[in-house]
Structure 1
Amino acid sequence: MAGEDPTISGMAGRYATALFELALEEKAVDQVRKDLDSFDALVAGSPDLERLVRSPVFGADEQAKALAAVLDKAGIKGLAAKFLQVIARNRRLFAVRGMIRAFRALVAKHRGEVTAEVTVAEKLSDANLDALKGAIKNVTGGKDIDFSVNVDPAIIGGLIVKVGSRMVDTSLRTKLNAIKIAMKEAR
Structure 2
Amino acid sequence: MTSQVATAEVAQPYAQALLSIAQSKNLTEEFGEDARTFLSLLRADKQLQNFFGNPFIQSESKKALIKQIVGEGANPYLRNFLLVLVDKRRIAFLEPILQQYLALLRQLNQTVLAEVTSAIPLTEAQQQAITEKVIAITKARQVELETKVDSELIGGVIIKVGSQVIDASIRGQLRRLSLRLTSG
Whole-Å separation in 2 of the counterparts to 1:114 and 1:105: 9
Which digits, 9 at most, give the CA deviation of each residue in 1:67-99, with x for residues without a partner? 1111117x4322222222221232222222221
Whole-Å separation in 2 of the counterparts to 1:58 and 1:134: 47
Out of 91-100 and 170-179, give the one that drifted further.
170-179
Whole-Å separation in 2 of the counterparts to 1:41 and 1:137: 25
Out of 144, 160, 163, which is 2:161 matched to? 163
Residue type matched to 1:93 in 2?
Answer: I
Q: Secondary structure at the match of 2:71?
A: helix
TM-score computed with the length of structure 1 as normaliser: 0.72
In the alignment, structure 1 segments of 5+ residues that lack a partner are 1-5, 183-187
Shift of 1:176: 9.2
Out of 15-24 and 86-95, give the one that drifted further.
86-95
Shift of 1:150: 3.8
Out of 127-136 and 113-122, give the one that drifted further.
113-122
Match of 1:144 in 2: 141
Match of 1:3 in 2: none
Residue type matched to 1:131 in 2?
Answer: A
Q: Which has the larger radius of gyration?
A: 2
Match of 2:113 in 1: 115
Alignment check: 8 A CA contact 1:160 1:170 kept:
yes
Closer/same/farther in 2, CA of residues 54 and 178 from structure 1, 3 Å limit: farther
Closer/same/farther in 2, CA of residues 113 and 89 from structure 1, 3 Å limit: same
Question: How many residues matched?
Answer: 174
Out of 27-36 and 10-19, give the one that drifted further.
27-36
Out of 34-43 and 62-71, give the one that drifted further.
34-43
In the alignment, structure 2 segments of 5+ residues that lack a partner are 180-184
Aligned-pair identity (%): 23
Which digits, 9 at most, give the CA deviation of each residue in 1:18-75, with x for residues without a partner? 11112112222122112222222222333433332344453433222211111117x4
Shift of 1:15: 0.9
Match of 2:67 in 1: 68
Q: Secondary structure at the match of 1:151?
A: strand
Residue 40 (str. 1) matches residue 39 (str. 2): yes
Q: Secondary structure at the match of 1:162?
A: strand
Whole-Å separation in 2 of the counterparts to 1:94 and 1:156: 33
Shift of 1:164: 3.1
Whole-Å separation in 2 of the counterparts to 1:126 and 1:82: 37
Which digits, 9 at most, give the CA deviation of each residue in 1:124-152, with x for residues without a partner? 222221221121111112x2234132425
